[in-house]
Amino acid sequence: MADEKSPVDEEGIKSDAATHDADVSEERADDPEVDLTEQMTAEQAGSGEDTASIETQIEELKEASLRAQAELLNVRRRAERDVENAHRYAIEKFVKDLLAVLDSMDRALELARTTEGFDPAMLEGTEMTHKLLLDTAAKHGVEAIDPVGESFDPQEHQAMTMVPSGEHAPNTVMAVMQKGYKLEGRVIRAAMVVVSQAQNG
């Protein structure tokens, strides 16, 4: 029949189609605009991942910076506190050595007051010396702990003995055997005391 295609014609059509595809591929390969578009698409796809990674790194750096600043502030505060305590308690060793002198003055004054016929002028001089010593110590933050009549405080008092008493409430300091002392509010020696306890029956 006249409208049937010959085998030669079909092969020619296939050959032309293959040639056209090859030409298109060569044109795309030679076309710089096509390459640039594909490259930009690929870069944009990678750019999104890079941006997310950079943002994560920025957040991590911010957190690390904040932690470093907080640690630096803590170190500075500790250093300031250590320096302040060093200044405040620099004379602690000296004060502890001075306690023996204060104790000796207390005993001398007590003896002078209880000794019959003790020279009044000498007693007055002893009292003045005792007061001068205490006032001088107080100027440097030293404070005596003399808690007669106060409630027993284990932070400041050391109970040497407990005595039943009907005149004092239980756990009341009845007598002080040895005064205690504080330096700038910190106990450097507890007071040795006699503490009351309830009577049996």
Is the model's pTM score more than 0.75?
A: no
pLDDT for 82: 81
- Predicted pLDDT at 49: 67
Return the top range by mean pLDDT from 27-36, 61-70, 79-88, 154-163: 154-163
**pLDDT at site 1:** 45
Q: Give the rounded percent of residues in the chain with a pLDDT score beyond 70.
A: 75
The pLDDT-based confidence of 187 (bands split at 50, 70, 90) is very high
| 147 vs 194: CA distance, rounded Å | 10
Residue 201 has pLDDT above 70, yes or no: no
Model confidence pLDDT, tens digit, residues 67-109: 989 999 999 898 888 887 777 778 888 999 999 999 999 999 9
Residue 46 has pLDDT above 50, yes or no: yes
Q: Per mean pLDDT, which range of 10-14, 45-49, 69-73, 185-189 is the poorest? A: 10-14
- Interacting residues of 143 by C-beta distance below 8 A, sequence separation 6+: 181, 182, 183, 185
pLDDT band for position 155 (cuts 50, 70, 90) = very high
Q: Is the pLDDT of residue 2 over 50?
A: no
pLDDT level of residue 19 (50, 70, 90 thresholds): low
Superfamily designation of domain 92-197: Head domain of nucleotide exchange factor GrpE (2.30.22.10)
What pLDDT sits at residue 47? 61
**Domain residue ranges in the chain:** 7-66, 92-197
CA–CA dist 159, 173 (Å, integer): 9
More confident: 57 or 39: 57
Which DSSP helix (H) or strand (E) runs through 181?
Answer: strand 180-183
Burial class from Cβ neighbours inside 10 Å (0-12, 13-18, 19+) for residue 18 reads exposed
Within 7-119, where are the H helices? Answer: 7-30, 32-88, 92-114
